[in-house]
Amino acid sequence: MNGRATLIASALEARLRAHAPYSHFLVGAALEAADGRVFTGCNVESASYGLTICAERTALFKAISEGARGFARIAIAAESPSLTPPCGACRQVLRDHCAELEVILCNPRGESKVFQLSELFPHPFHDQMLS
């Protein structure tokens, strides 16, 4: 497994590749698969805001498209006055693919905090509700 510091550095670097001409809110994510591979993503905005995709889902979809299944942790980097957790849509999609995921929130000032996804999303909609 990669160290937290390496994952944070990858998320901070991915943040610099964000395409955010409307919000100017740059976010990067680095997702560590169970096999140790790391997949990065950044937010990509559209003039039609509903078509924008967050950094967390970009990283997850890249990982899945490369055959990764099972994830250990994700680092999410944004420059804001407080550490920025994933939005509701990202929490749901992350939960769909890994119920027990370590979530590391960080920023360029060196601040970070670790959560479990279940702390951030305590009552998710999940596959067992579909039967």
Joined together, the tokens standing for residue 30 give 């680095």
The amino acid sitting at 32 is E
Q: Would you say 101 and 115 are in contact if contact means Cβ atoms under 8 Å apart?
A: no
- Candidate list 13, 45, 56, 102, residue with the active-site label: 56
* Residue 111 annotated to the active site: no
Catalytic residues: 56
